Amino acid sequence: MNHPNRSIAFIIMAVVLAPFVVAGLWTLPPFGSYPGPYGDVINAIGTSARHITNMVTGVNYDFRGLDTLGEEFILFASVTGVVMLLRGARGEAKSAAALRIEHRRREGRSEAVAGAGRVLAPITLLYGIYVVLHAQTTPGGGFQGGVIVFAAILLAYLGEGYSAWRRMARSAVLDLVEAAGAAIYAVGGLVPMFFGARYLENILPLGQPKTITSGGLIAVVNLGVGLAVAAGFSSIALELLEETRTAGDDQA
Amino acid sequence: MMLVIGGLLVLLSVSGLGVVLTREPRRQVLAMAANGLVLSALFMALQAPDVAFSEIVIGSVALPLFFFVSLSSLRANRKRE
């Protein structure tokens, strides 16, 4: 479609649709209005019922824990899909070590990048673990902390170079951790059923509020999500990075 | 507080416009990360720290990485042909 026609089509559609947009904007609820009762209920009962101080974690891993199980397996399925597509195309045997293709010019990292990666990776890792463990008490949780741990793993790649990084971040280990994380969530939900409770029902001791052991089952499934997210994102990054390896830059 | 939220909304539309107007893919990825950073500041101002946290880790760690790696992969494969 050429430009004048496109403009004419746009003007016609804009004139036709503008009244609907204006009518819609006119009936929007005022800024900050909150008609739903559930948030207020959760805020009121969260601390007494589950001994937690971060209600978002309470909703994600307890009150609506089954939804998060679904999300957990969406992530699991997408990681499996990406790994199968990319690793399958290269061949399983080649994926164990860093890919090496001859005749590619090596692009080394600057010392500043390597130094920054080496300094920041352990700090970021510690912070990620902190965020995962403090899901019940402060903002953040398994998902956010898991991605921060993944960021630390990436910083290790920047600090140490690709082949050293591949020796640290073994894809077999990542696959195992990812599966273990998903299993902790699914099986952690099953355990209450052996004691006559419902799936994912929080029957574990709830612990002292504002500590990392508070929340009972929340702490367990949250850890599962943290492990699965960190390992899952790392697996995707590893397989994608392997795609960019074209030749003998293993030392870079 | 309304002033902060208003300012962040303006900043958000400016950085969003920046993403659309940037034509070079690698710069566009950085513009997108900046947009995500402003968005997470807005979530923080709207008292949603968990959402802000998710936005900051996805918008400025995972998303740029996957885009950069994909762009680099495209470049590497084009050279090989």
ipTM: 0.90
Going by C-alpha positions, the residue among A155, A94, A87 that lies closest to residue A123 is A155
The residue written with tokens 């599966």 in the block is A179
Does residue A148 sit at the B interface (CB-CB below 8 Å)? yes
Does residue A236 sit at the B interface (CB-CB below 8 Å)? yes
Contacts of A189 (CB under 8 A, 6+ apart): A65, A66, A69, A199, A200, A221
Chain B residues touching residue A154 (CB < 8 angstroms)? 61, 65
Chain centroid to Cα A215, Å, comes to 21
* Residue numbers in chain A where pLDDT is lower than 50: 103, 247-252
Q: How many other β-carbons are positioned within 10 Å of the β-carbon of residue A77?
A: 11
Among candidates A147, A240, A245 on the partner chain, residue whose Cβ is nearest the Cβ of B57: A147
Domain presence at residue A41? no
- pLDDT at position A248: 47
8 Å CB contact between A78 and A85: no
- pLDDT at position A106: 56
8 Å CB contact between A157 and A114: no
The distance of B10 to chain A (nearest Cα, Å) reads: 16
Integer Cα distance of A84 and A107 in angstroms: 29
8 Å CB contact between B19 and B31: yes
Domain presence at residue A252? no
- pLDDT at position B79: 63
Both tokens of A232, joined, read 């899952």
Both tokens of A65, joined, read 């824990």
Task: Give the number of beta-carbon pairs within 8 Å between A and B.
Answer: 51
What is the value of pTM for the model shown? Answer: 0.87
Q: Which of residues 150-169 of A touch B (CB under 8 A)?
A: 150-151, 154
* Cβ contact A56–B50 (<8 Å): yes
* Cβ contact A147–B73 (<8 Å): no
- pLDDT at position B72: 83
The domain of B26 spans 2-80
* Cβ contact B50–A141 (<8 Å): yes
Domain count within chain A: 1
Domain presence at residue A238? yes
Domain presence at residue A13? no
8 Å CB contact between A149 and A132: yes
The tens place of each residue's pLDDT in chain B, 81 residues long, gives 889 999 999 999 999 999 999 999 999 999 999 999 999 999 999 999 999 999 999 998 899 999 998 888 887 777 655
Domain presence at residue A31? no
* Cβ contact A233–B70 (<8 Å): no
Domain count within chain B: 1
Integer Cα distance of A38 and A13 in angstroms: 40
* Cβ contact A140–B70 (<8 Å): no
- Burial tier of A225 (Cβ tally within 10 Å: 0-12, 13-18, 19+): buried
Kindly state the helix (H) or strand (E) to which residue A5 belongs, with its residue range: helix A3-26
Among candidates A151, A233, A246 on the partner chain, residue whose Cβ is nearest the Cβ of B80: A246
Contacts of A182 (CB under 8 A, 6+ apart): A72, A73, A76, A224, A228
8 Å CB contact between A122 and A152: yes
Domain presence at residue A38? no
- pLDDT at position B44: 93
Domain presence at residue A61? yes
H-helix segments, A30-161:
38-50, 55-58, 65-90, 111-133, 142-160
- Which residue of chain A comes nearest to B56, CA vs CA? A144
- pLDDT at position A100: 57
The domain of A159 spans 52-244
Tell me, what DSSP letter sits at residue B68?
Answer: H
Domain presence at residue A250? no
